[in-house]
Amino acid sequence: MNSLDLIATTAFGLEAVVSRELAALGYHEQQIEDGKITFKGDALAVARTNLWLRSADRVLLQIGKFVAKDFDELFDQTKELPWSEWLPEDAAFPVTGSCVRSLLHNPPAVQSLVKKAIVESRKQNSQRHWFQETGFEYPIDVSILRDVVTLTIDTSGPGLHKRGYRKQGGAAPLKETLAAALVQLSFWNRERPFLDPFCGSGTIPIEAALIAKNRAPGLDRNFQAERWERLPVENWLKAREEARDLQISKPTTYPLFASDISPQAVQLTEDHARAAGVAGMLHVTQMDVLELKDSRDYGVIVTNPPYGERLGDRESAEAIYDDMADAFAPLKTWSIYVLTADVGFERFFRRRADRRRKLYNGRIQCQYYQYIGPRPPGTVDPRPEEGLAGAPYDPYQS
Ligand SMILES: C[S@@+](CC[C@H](N)C(=O)[O-])C[C@H]1O[C@@H](n2cnc3c(N)ncnc32)[C@H](O)[C@@H]1O
């Protein structure tokens, strides 16, 4: 029975990608808002979505949602929620909060009132009047948007981008969740050559390899809710076993090509690929983008070249876009996807994109420029808005 209200949070612009990932996992009952997708699920869904979601930031358990325009309404309605069902008597429960365009606009006051209301609620169901928070942590969040209060407990713990394979960052590494989204927004599938010629620490090709392998991105890490009493440990064991079974140990894929001008970046990519268990799938070389030569057809480039915040850096980044135009010109049948914050990209690359999508790399607003090449003969590309790329149940069967 899908009795739980769950929320997958995501960076702005990636809602459609996460919604598609959820649908591919079988969670179709969804409500999509900016930065979050609310969906119905059971206890197993908590484990499966934490393990499988590639582009979501975290999975939250929604305990309540209601309108509150003053502190009394907030207190009374928070107190009525079933906190004791979730929090054991020794639970530690830090409360974070945010208020946006609401009559209640002071987050510290809101947080402390919610904390008091939860204590009162638990007192009603316990012999105790005092709760020592010495046990496992249940991180609670109160978010108020236009007077609508949403109370959640975080089931993920560290953000889902923390897959566990990246020990050190490169110069400007992308979050793994964003890298996975870039791949899933492209027309790449494992029948097509893949290249990231500005691979940095390797995030994009490693996420592509994990997708090709149908490997659950969270398989090497733990999650906050794994030790919650209300969520039977069998669900986690079952979800992990299912994920291991679904992994394709030797996917029939082209090697994924990654290159970078920097020897340190090449080393980092190799180290991270090894840690992610995909070293054998990646072909990593040190190379200036200008040296690029590839005689294959219908390949896909997904990349994140440098972009400068300061003028000098921006000028050298724009010179690189000019080099990219020359380097990619012979790749007539390829599709090319470029994430950059430089608004002049198309001018220096000398081509207008077929599509653009506004995305955020952390706080930096970027555009994802998409140049869509011809479809390989005899194939049907899943349209990115509708396709299943990245879904755990063999996304590429089409
Ligand atoms: C923004 S970083 C890429 C970060 C990467 N997506 C990650 O997640 O780690 C850009 C990379 O482009 C590389 N680069 C700069 N100029 C280059 C050139 N002419 N040819 C190839 N790589 C270059 C830099 O060494 C840097 O690693």
Q: How far is CA 344 from the centre of its chain?
A: 27
- The closest residue, in CA terms, to atom 16 on ligand 1 is 261
CB 57 within 8 A of CB 159: yes
Examine residue 109 and state whether it is found in any structural domain, yes or no: yes
- The closest residue, in CA terms, to atom 27 on ligand 1 is 200
Examine residue 227 and state whether it is found in any structural domain, yes or no: no
Examine residue 10 and state whether it is found in any structural domain, yes or no: yes
180 and 86 co-located in one domain: no
Which tens digit of pLDDT belongs to each residue from 183-213? 999 999 988 999 999 999 999 999 999 999 9
Query: In terms of C-beta density within 10 A (0-12 exposed, 13-18 middle, 19 or more buried), how is residue 263 classed?
Result: exposed
182 and 68 co-located in one domain: no
User: What SS3 string covers 139-204?
Assistant: CEEEEEECCEEEEEEECCCCCCCCCCCCCCCCCCCCCHHHHHHHHHCCCCCCCCCEEECCCCCCHH
- The closest residue, in CA terms, to atom 1 on ligand 1 is 306
Q: Which CATH number do you get for residue 140?
A: 3.30.2130.30
Measured CA to CA, the distance from residue 63 to residue 153 in angstroms comes to 7
CB 56 within 8 A of CB 18: yes
20 and 117 co-located in one domain: yes
CA torsion angle for 33, 224, 2, 54 (degrees, to 10)? 50
Q: Distance from the CA of 58 to the center of ligand 1, in angstroms? A: 28
Measured CA to CA, the distance from residue 27 to residue 385 in angstroms comes to 17
Supply the pLDDT for residue 311: 65
Examine residue 236 and state whether it is found in any structural domain, yes or no: no
CB 346 within 8 A of CB 353: yes
136 and 197 co-located in one domain: no
Supply the pLDDT for residue 391: 37
Supply the pLDDT for residue 392: 34
Examine residue 27 and state whether it is found in any structural domain, yes or no: yes
Measured CA to CA, the distance from residue 134 to residue 94 in angstroms comes to 12
Residue 208 has φ and ψ, to the nearest 5°, of -65, -40
From edge to edge, which strands make up the β-sheet containing 300-303? 282-286, 256-260, 194-196, 300-303, 335-340, 364-371, 355-361
Measured CA to CA, the distance from residue 144 to residue 149 in angstroms comes to 4
148 and 184 co-located in one domain: no
CB 304 within 8 A of CB 366: no
AA letter at 48: R
Measured CA to CA, the distance from residue 367 to residue 321 in angstroms comes to 14
CB 240 within 8 A of CB 338: no
129 and 32 co-located in one domain: yes
* C-alpha closest to that of 181 among 164, 156, 165, 160: 160
251 and 138 co-located in one domain: no
Supply the pLDDT for residue 397: 33
Q: Which residue's structure tokens are 């989204």?
A: 181
Q: Distance from the CA of 317 to the center of ligand 1, in angstroms? A: 10
Q: Residues near ligand 1 with C-beta < 6 Å?
A: 170-174, 197-198, 200-201, 203-204, 260-262, 265, 288-289, 304-306, 320
| DSSP single-letter state for residue 363 | T
The three-class DSSP label of residue 104 is coil
| Full domain range(s) for residue 48 | 4-154
Q: Which residue's structure tokens are 């999975």?
A: 59
Q: How many domains does the chain fold into?
A: 2
Q: Which residue's structure tokens are 């011809």?
A: 374
* Atom number of ligand 1 nearest to Cα 268: 9
Examine residue 307 and state whether it is found in any structural domain, yes or no: yes
329 and 195 co-located in one domain: yes
Q: Distance from the CA of 99 to the center of ligand 1, in angstroms? A: 38
Measured CA to CA, the distance from residue 219 to residue 240 in angstroms comes to 7
Measured CA to CA, the distance from residue 206 to residue 279 in angstroms comes to 9
Examine residue 340 and state whether it is found in any structural domain, yes or no: yes
Q: Which CATH number do you get for residue 326?
A: 3.40.50.150
Q: How far is CA 312 from the centre of its chain?
A: 32
* Atom number of ligand 1 nearest to Cα 169: 9
* Atom number of ligand 1 nearest to Cα 289: 20
314 and 187 co-located in one domain: yes
126 and 9 co-located in one domain: yes
- The closest residue, in CA terms, to atom 17 on ligand 1 is 261
Q: Which regions of the chain are under pLDDT 50?
A: 1, 384-398
Strand pairing partners for 366? Answer: 359
Measured CA to CA, the distance from residue 270 to residue 266 in angstroms comes to 6
Examine residue 65 and state whether it is found in any structural domain, yes or no: yes
Supply the pLDDT for residue 94: 97
Identify which of 177, 178, 260 to mutate to test ligand 1's pocket (most ligand atoms within 8 A of the CB): 260
68 and 206 co-located in one domain: no
CA torsion angle for 93, 98, 103, 105 (degrees, to 10)? 100
* C-alpha closest to that of 128 among 171, 169, 91, 167: 91
- The closest residue, in CA terms, to atom 26 on ligand 1 is 200
Structure-block tokens of residue 384: 């990115």
Q: Distance from the CA of 198 to the center of ligand 1, in angstroms? A: 4
106 and 197 co-located in one domain: no
Q: Distance from the CA of 306 to the center of ligand 1, in angstroms? A: 6
Measured CA to CA, the distance from residue 348 to residue 340 in angstroms comes to 12
Structure-block tokens of residue 124: 């009603």
